[in-house]
Amino acid sequence: MEVSVKLNNLRTSPRKVRPVLPIIKGKSATDALNILRFSNKGCARDLYQLLKSGIAAAVEHEMEKDQLVVSVAKCDQAQTLKRHRFKARGRVTKIKKRSSHITLSLSDSYQKKPEVTLDKPVEKDMKKDTVAVKDKKDVNNKKDE
């Protein structure tokens, strides 16, 4: 089972929030709380409160607190407030005050996607409809025949 919590219009730039999210993703909820509690980032306090709220919601849905894992942690850009700053010689520059939407999902179990790897590099011969494996021994044997 999965529980999602969302924080809308946090007055912190997504650029400042995004580096913190990979640190807590995939960790257990109690470990993520400890990481956020002792983090130096300013948005860590808001993420700490959001995660605590998510844990409370999960407990309300009869999930065990010790088995919760942060499965999804993402940050999207919200509305941008546009302001002006007056400069020398009668000029004006724009100031963009950015805000963000944060989404956390807590689940009972978290599974990473398996990575796909190839043992040997495979090359397809365009003249023939055969597949050739790049090995020196195979290439030498084909020349002799």
Query: Domains of the chain by range and CATH?
Result: 2-107 (3.90.470.10)
CA 47/CA 101 separation, integer angstroms: 11
User: How much is the mean pLDDT over the chain?
Assistant: 86
The model's pTM:
0.73
Confidence of residue 116 (pLDDT cuts 50, 70, 90): low
**What separation, in Å, do the N-terminal and C-terminal C-alpha atoms of the chain show?**
61
Confidence of residue 1 (pLDDT cuts 50, 70, 90): confident
Residue 15 has pLDDT above 90, yes or no: yes
**Which distant-in-sequence residues (6+ apart) come within 8 Å of 59 by Cβ?**
65
The pLDDT tens digits for 69-89 are 999 999 999 999 999 999 999
